[in-house]
Structure 1
Amino acid sequence: MDRQQILDLYEWRTGICFRHPAKGEVPTTVVGTVHPRAGGERPVLGCADCVIAIEDMRREEAARAGEEYVPGQVDKAAG
């Protein structure tokens, strides 16, 4: 799959990327969830560059583990 095909697997909304807050509001998707001490859940949002970087790491890890790589599940892998 190419970059755009992978990005198309996600639902995007305007937000602040957890890793690149200086970019300001950009298209983001949920890449994980944090559980603050005060309780509840908060989504962690990532920009397209971060999603591709995370997908690349997932693909490499799957290859090392001899497992199938399935793109489009960054938010599930983090949980």
Structure 2
Amino acid sequence: MDHQQILGLYTWELGTCFRHPGAGELETTVVQTLRTRLGSVEHIRACPSCVVAMEAKRQRLCEEAGVAYEPGHAGEACEPD
């Protein structure tokens, strides 16, 4: 898949990228959800360039682990079925 196809797997809205908070609001997608001890939910968001980088790293890690890579899951671990 090319970068545009991978980015098309995500839902985008304005937000702050966790890697580029100084850039202000830009198109982002949720890559991970954290639950605090108090029970609130925090969404970790990433911009398109970060998602592409995260997908490339995840693909490499999946290949090294011998696990099938499926795009569209940036922020998740590579785990066997």
Partner of 2:56: 56
Specify every segment of 5 or more residues in structure 1 that has no aligned partner in the other structure, as ranges. Answer: none
Amino acid at match of 2:72: G
Specify every segment of 5 or more residues in structure 2 that has no aligned partner in the other structure, as ranges. Answer: none
Amino acid at match of 2:70: V
Aligned length: 77
Match of 1:74, SS state, is coil
Q: CA RMSD in A?
A: 1.3
Amino acid at match of 2:5: Q
Report deviation, 1:37.
3.4
- Normalising by structure 2, we get a TM-score of 0.86
- Normalising by structure 1, we get a TM-score of 0.88
Provide the C-alpha distance between the structure 2 equivalents of 1:45 and 1:71, rounded to a whole number of angstroms.
17
Structure possessing the higher relative contact order (Cα contacts under 8 Å, 6 or more residues apart): 1
Structure 1 moving runs of 4+ over 4 Å: none
